[in-house]
Amino acid sequence: MSLFSRLRDALARFMSGRYGTDSLNRSLILIWLLLAIVNVFFHSLVIYVIELVFCFVVFFRMLSRNYVKRQRENAAWYGMTSGIRGAFRRFMIRRRDGKNFHFFKCPNCKAPIRMPRKVGRFNIRCNKCGHSFQKEFKK
Ligand SMILES: [Zn+2]
């Protein structure tokens, strides 16, 4: 058995039953990394201490055996960031489809509507609330 496979097995035994990583941990690692990059320029002790706290929290969560608590924390994180993630997802969809689709909101319920980019006057029916309206697109 090679050294590499023995190390891999030892790591697998060590991590067995532990929580590992999730969306919250990846976000914490990203913030930690950004703080480290910022601190290259500022050499601030305060930022360094905050980095250490992030490091501690990331490893604590990763090595924890309390799945229920870690999953609750992750679910709370998802709830807190759902608005930001939704806005980012909409931004990426518009960036990807902007050339081929019109994006607008239903005048009644403000639901986002997407339709193929064409020129002319169209009768549009909102899929969410059923409201019908006319919209004209010029070039
Ligand atoms: Zn609507």
Q: What percent of the chain has a predicted confidence (pLDDT) above 70?
A: 100
Q: What is the DSSP letter of 127?
A: T
Q: Which residues surround ligand 1, an ion (CB under 5 A)?
A: 106, 108-109, 111, 126, 128-129, 131
Give pLDDT tens digits for 34-45.
Answer: 999 999 999 999
Give the pLDDT confidence of 117-131 residue by residue, as tens digits: 999 999 999 999 999
Rg from Cα positions in the chain:
24
Expressed in angstroms and rounded, the spacing between residue 130 Cα and the centre of ligand 1 is 6
Within 8 A by CB and 6+ apart from 70, the residues are 19, 22, 61, 64
Q: Are 18 and 64 in contact (CB under 8 A)?
A: yes
Q: What is the pTM of this model?
A: 0.70
What tokens were used for 5? Answer: 């496979």
Other C-beta atoms closer than 10 Å to the C-beta of 133 total: 13
Please count the other Cβ atoms lying within 10 Å of the Cβ belonging to residue 28: 20
pLDDT digits (tens, 9 = 90+) for 91-115: 999 999 999 999 999 999 999 999 9
C-alpha of residue 103 to centroid of ligand 1, in Å: 14
